[in-house]
Amino acid sequence: MTVGDPALLVVDDNEDNRYTLTRRLTREGYTNLATAANGREALDKLNAERFDLVLLDIMMPDLNGYEVLEQVKATPALRDIPIIMISALDELDSVIRCIELGAEDYLTKPFNPTLLRARVGASLEKKRLRDEVRRNLARLEQELDAARALQLAMLPNQFPACSPSHPVAVHAVMQPAREVGGDLYDCFYAGEHAFCFLVGDVSGKGASAAMFMARARSLVRISVNLWREWRADEIDPGLVAEAVNRELCQNNDDRMFVTLFLGLIDTRTGLVSFVNAGHPPPHLVSATGETRQIDAKPAMPLGVRRQAAYQTRTLAIQPGDALFVCSDGVFEALNDKGDLFSIERLGRLLREANAAEPLDMVRAVKDAVDVFTGSAPRADDVTALALRWRPAGAAGDVPPIAWAGPAT
């Protein structure tokens, strides 16, 4: 619709009424006018052409105004067209029925020129504003789709292949609760024998959380790379966390923070050095079938206090063991009854999947969360990372196992 040339459709079975109404509308400056002599002709024209307003008579033979109004409002492509009902009836019940069926307004015959001008103008203005809102929402959705694609492109979707020289199989997924999310994960080799992995969860949701997420992930990568360039000793996850924390505290007026589990595996020995900055402890999924959460009391999240210190802890894993790290959006997922997915349910699922490859383990958890939540709205992002250490030639070396899925 252009502001100066809206398209109007006048529907009335009486030719004199159509002529009188179109003449009055023409005097008000409306030139793009069409008419229909009955309800069926009106529906045909509405389906064939685009109109910005319909003035619809109620009392018509065959298909009356009420029935036309019902059909228009039941048709998705037409339901947003404003309709002003016109009738010689000045009964409250008729007015109420029209409004309940979705009419924009109601006019009685004979027409008062001032009232006609005001109500037609108001209806067109409301439609113009609704169209503007709809265009802005469509543009915003396009921008959010682009932001979502850009955010997901920041996270690896191709993972290092497991080989004798790189004996870690890994897979991860992040599913935002909204168009963009605040969770993050990453995994990469930080040296010939050091595999780095992390999972984080930013406070809040939406675009600001996504930007903070991107900043946190980049800072971890930068800190690890600078360590490798400037220092010859082993990377210390606690010191990396402290460096990232100091940067995140800079210019953090919104007081955002991120929980982070950051670990490095020595691929020769299976020794995992890690720091837990306020994140849920990961699960150790033993090759023997035992599954437990790592006993690692979380420290303060990153971005809260600039001078916070972070302690590096260690964990020895055995050949074939797996680690599963996730955000709280996994075990705090709610179904439509308000029930939690729960840590216990996650533990049972991981025990069933103890022999699975990381891709199957992550997929099993994500699918289980999707089935559990069903149609309930997502309150939090769902992020999961699984890795398995498979050193070649080591005692107890466990080859990849084909997994049939969780028990049903």
Whole-number pLDDT of residue 47: 93
176 has a pLDDT exceeding 70: yes
- Alpha-carbon distance of 286 to 296, in angstroms, equals 17
CATH classification for the domain delimited by 156-389, as one of 3.10.129.10, 1.10.10.10, 3.30.1010.10, 3.60.40.10: 3.60.40.10
Instruction: Tell me whether domains 8-143 and 156-389 share a fold.
Output: no
Question: At 236, is the pLDDT very low, low, confident or very high (cuts 50, 70, 90)?
Answer: very high
Listing DSSP states for 157-223 in one string gives: SS-PPP-SSS-EEEEEEEE-SSSS-SEEEEEEESSTTEEEEEEEEESS-SHHHHHHHHHHHHHHHHH
- Alpha-carbon distance of 35 to 324, in angstroms, equals 68
Whole-number pLDDT of residue 127: 87
The per-residue pLDDT for range 341-353, each reduced to its tens digit, is: 999 999 999 999 8
- Alpha-carbon distance of 108 to 127, in angstroms, equals 22
Winning range, highest mean pLDDT, from 56-65, 107-116, 275-284, 373-382: 275-284
Whole-number pLDDT of residue 361: 95
Task: Report DSSP state, residue 281.
Answer: P
Whole-number pLDDT of residue 61: 86
152 has a pLDDT exceeding 70: no
Going by C-alpha positions, the residue among 19, 21, 35 that lies closest to residue 108 is 21
Whole-number pLDDT of residue 62: 85
Going by C-alpha positions, the residue among 111, 123, 117 that lies closest to residue 20 is 111
Instruction: Report the amino acid identity of residue 279.
Output: H
* Average pLDDT for 19-33: 91
- Alpha-carbon distance of 391 to 340, in angstroms, equals 37
For the chain, the structural domain boundaries read 8-143, 156-389
Better-predicted residue by pLDDT, 36 or 206: 36
* Average pLDDT for 119-140: 86
Whole-number pLDDT of residue 71: 92
- Please state, for a pLDDT cut of 90, what percent of the chain lies above it: 53
Instruction: Report the amino acid identity of residue 158.
Output: Q
361-366: list long-range contacts, CB under 8 Å, 24+ apart: 361/171, 361/285, 361/322, 361/324, 361/386, 362/171, 362/172, 362/173, 362/386, 363/173, 364/405, 364/406, 365/324, 365/326, 365/330, 366/173, 366/175
Task: Report DSSP state, residue 22.
Answer: H
Strand partners, 316: 271
* Average pLDDT for 181-195: 89
Q: Give the fold, CATH level 3, of 8-143.
A: Rossmann fold (3.40.50)
CB 146 within 8 A of CB 54: no
